C-alpha cells in the first residue's frame, strides 16, 4: 500500500503526484511497485492530463520543439521552454523514430500530448515499387518518449498520387486517435481519402466525395481543434475565385466547407490555432489575424490584430506573444524574435542562423497519455 511507504492516505498521494511534471513522474515510477502501478493507471493518467490542461497550469506544462532543416543534412530538433525558448536539450528523431534517409520531418498535428509526424525520404520516390513508402508516419509522446510507426498500405502497380496531405486528431465520441491521408490523382482527377484508427492499427478508405477542382494547401501550422482538423483550399487556378476552409469531423468522418472573411479570402495564406480558436492569417508584407466565431448555423469572423512586419509567424504562444523569424537582430543573421502584438515590442531570442536553415516551431502540453491504450484511459474516466 502507498500509505505504508509515505504514511499518507493513498488519495492524498494521488493528488500530490497528479500535479507533478511528467519528467518527475517517469523517474518516480522506479520508487516502488505501487507507484509504478499508480502512474500507469488509466484513472491517474486522466487526472494528470486534466490538471495539466487547466487554465492556471497552461504554461507550467507547456514545452516547445524547434526543428532546423537544411536540404543537404538531416533535420535537427531541440526542446525549449515555452516563454523564453530557453534551450532544454537536443532530440534525436532521426534515426530514433525514422529511417536515416528521412529529411524533412513535418509536424502534422498534436492532440492530448501526442504528435503526428510525417517524415519524407525524397530518394524513395524515384524507381520505388511502392511510392507510399517514401513517407513514414509516426505517433510520438515526447514527454514519455513512447512512439509508434504506422503501418504502410499495400498498393497496386501504378498507384502514384501527385499530392498527399495529412490530418491528425481524436474522435471525441469513440476516444480513438485518427490520422487522415488525403491523396490527389491527376488521371482521372479525383481525391482518395484514407483514415487510420489507432485502436485497430489499420487504414481504410472512406467515401469523402471531395471536389476534384479544389487544390489543398499544405498547412504551415498544425490545425487540429476540438475534434476537427482544418485545411485551406483554393481553386487550382488562382486567378479569381475564392479560397475556403475545409474541416474534417473526426467523429462522423465528413468534410465541410467554411467561408472565409469577406474581402480577404483571396489574401488568406495560412490557418493556425491561437488560444483554442481557429484563425486565418491574411496578407504578405503585413499580416491580419482573424478568428473564427463558429455557431450552430454558420461561422463568422472577427479581426484580432495586425502584425506590421513582413515576417510570417512561426508560433503563437498561449500568453499572446508571437515567435517570428527574420533579420530583426542582425542584418547578416537570421534569428528568432518574440513579438508582442499589443505593445509592438520585439525581443531577440538566443537562437540564430546564417540564413540557410528553415525553422519549424511547435508547442505542446506535456502528458502521460499513451500512444497505445489512450482509448482505455478515457473509457476508465467515463465509468469512474
In 10 A of CB 46, how many CB atoms? 22
- Write down the domain spans for the chain: 1-61, 92-259
Backbone angles phi, psi at 181, to 5 degrees: -120, 120
pLDDT score at 226:
92
Q: By mean pLDDT, which of 132-136, 262-266, 314-318, 324-328 is the weakest?
A: 262-266
Contact 369, 112 (CB under 8 A): yes
Q: What share of the chain is helix, strand, coil (3-state, %, to 5)?
A: 15, 45, 40
pLDDT score at 140:
94
Specify which of 186-190, 259-263, 293-297, 334-338 reaches the highest per-range mean pLDDT.
Answer: 186-190
Residue 27: Cβ-neighbour burial (10 angstroms; 0-12, 13-18, 19+): exposed
pLDDT score at 333:
67
Closest of 64, 309, 123 to residue 289, by C-alpha: 309
pLDDT score at 365:
84
238 vs 187, which has greater pLDDT? 187
- Residue 126: pLDDT above 70? no
- Residue 240: pLDDT above 70? no
- Residue 38: pLDDT above 50? yes
Report whether the peptide linkage leading into residue 188 is cis, meaning its omega lies within 30 degrees of zero: yes
Closest of 332, 331, 335 to residue 347, by C-alpha: 335
The pLDDT mean for the chain works out to 80
Backbone angles phi, psi at 157, to 5 degrees: -60, 140
Q: Which helix (H) or strand (E) holds 382?
A: helix 374-383
pLDDT score at 61:
65
Q: Which residues of 119-158 are buried (b: 16+ CB within 10 A; e: fewer)?
A: bbbeebeeeeeebbebbbbbbbbbbbebbbebeebeeeee
Chain centroid to CA 329: how far? 29
Specify which of 125-139, 227-241, 244-258, 309-323 reaches the highest per-range mean pLDDT.
Answer: 244-258
Find the radius of gyration of the CA atoms of the chain: 22
The full length of the chain comes to 384
- Residue 1: pLDDT above 50? no
pTM of the predicted structure, to 2 decimals: 0.85
Contacts of 133 (CB under 8 A, 6+ apart): 124, 152
Instruction: Indicate the pLDDT class of residue 253, thresholds 50, 70 and 90.
Output: very high
Specify which of 248-252, 283-287, 328-332 reaches the highest per-range mean pLDDT.
Answer: 248-252
pLDDT in tens, 292-315: 887 545 678 888 888 887 777 888
pLDDT in tens, 68-78: 877 667 788 88
Residue 380's DSSP bridge partners are none
- Residue 376: pLDDT above 60? no
pLDDT score at 231:
92
Instruction: Indicate the pLDDT class of residue 381, thresholds 50, 70 and 90.
Output: very low
Instruction: Indicate the pLDDT class of residue 354, thresholds 50, 70 and 90.
Output: low
Contacts of 173 (CB under 8 A, 6+ apart): 251
Q: By mean pLDDT, which of 185-194, 242-251, 262-271, 307-316 is the weakest?
A: 262-271
pLDDT score at 115:
94
Contacts of 3 (CB under 8 A, 6+ apart): 9, 10, 13
CATH T-level fold of 92-259: Lipocalin (2.40.128)
- Residue 235: pLDDT above 80? no
Amino acid at each position: 500500500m502507498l500509505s505504508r511507504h509515505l504514511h499518507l492516505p493513498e488519495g492524498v498521494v494521488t493528488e500530490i503526484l497528479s500535479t507533478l511534471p511528467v519528467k518527475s513522474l517517469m523517474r518516480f515510477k522506479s520508487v516502488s511497485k505501487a507507484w509504478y502501478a499508480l502512474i500507469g493507471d488509466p484513472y491517474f493518467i486522466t487526472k494528470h492530463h486534466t490538471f495539466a490542461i487547466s487554465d492556471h497550469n497552461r504554461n507550467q506544462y507547456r514545452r516547445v520543439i524547434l526543428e532546423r532543416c537544411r536540404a543537404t543534412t538531416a533535420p535537427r530538433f531541440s526542446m525549449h521552454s515555452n516563454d523564453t525558448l530557453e534551450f532544454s536539450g537536443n532530440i534525436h528523431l532521426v534515426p530514433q523514430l525514422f529511417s536515416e534517409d528521412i529529411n524533412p520531418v513535418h509536424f502534422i498535428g498534436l492532440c492530448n500530448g501526442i504528435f503526428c509526424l510525417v517524415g519524407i525520404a525524397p530518394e524513395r520516390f524515384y524507381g520505388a515499387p511502392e511510392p507510399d513508402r517514401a513517407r513514414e508516419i509516426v505517433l510520438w509522446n515526447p514527454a514519455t518518449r513512447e512512439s509508434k510507426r504506422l503501418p504502410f498500405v499495400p498498393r497496386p502497380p501504378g498507384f502514384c498520387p501527385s499530392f498527399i496531405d495529412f490530418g491528425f486528431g481524436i474522435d471525441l465520441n469513440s476516444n480513438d486517435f485518427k490520422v487522415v491521408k488525403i491523396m490527389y490523382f491527376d488521371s482521372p482527377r479525383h481525391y482518395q481519402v484514407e483514415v487510420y484508427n489507432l485502436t485497430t492499427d489499420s487504414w481504410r478508405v472512406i467515401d469523402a466525395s471531395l471536389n476534384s477542382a479544389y487544390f489543398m494547401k499544405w498547412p504551415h501550422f498544425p490545425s487540429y481543434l476540438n475534434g476537427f482538423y482544418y485545411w485551406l483550399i483554393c481553386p487550382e487556378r488562382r486567378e479569381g475565385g475564392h479560397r475556403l476552409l475545409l474541416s474534417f469531423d473526426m467523429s462522423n468522418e465528413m468534410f465541410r466547407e467554411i467561408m472565409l472573411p469577406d474581402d480577404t479570402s483571396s489574401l488568406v495564406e495560412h490557418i493556425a490555432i491561437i488560444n483554442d480558436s481557429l484563425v486565418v492569417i491574411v496578407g504578405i508584407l503585413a499580416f491580419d489575424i482573424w478568428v473564427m466565431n463558429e455557431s450552430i448555423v454558420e461561422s463568422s469572423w472577427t479581426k484580432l490584430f495586425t502584425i506590421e512586419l513582413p515576417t510570417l509567424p512561426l508560433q503563437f504562444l498561449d500568453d499572446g506573444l508571437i515567435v517570428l523569424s527574420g533579420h530583426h537582430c542582425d542584418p547578416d543573421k537570421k534569428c528568432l524574435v518574440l513579438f508582442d502584438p499589443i505593445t509592438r515590442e520585439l525581443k531577440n531570442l538566443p537562437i540564430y542562423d546564417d540564413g540557410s536553415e528553415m525553422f519549424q516551431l511547435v508547442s505542446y502540453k506535456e502528458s502521460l497519455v499513451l500512444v497505445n491504450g489512450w482509448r482505455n484511459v478515457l473509457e476508465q474516466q467515463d465509468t469512474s
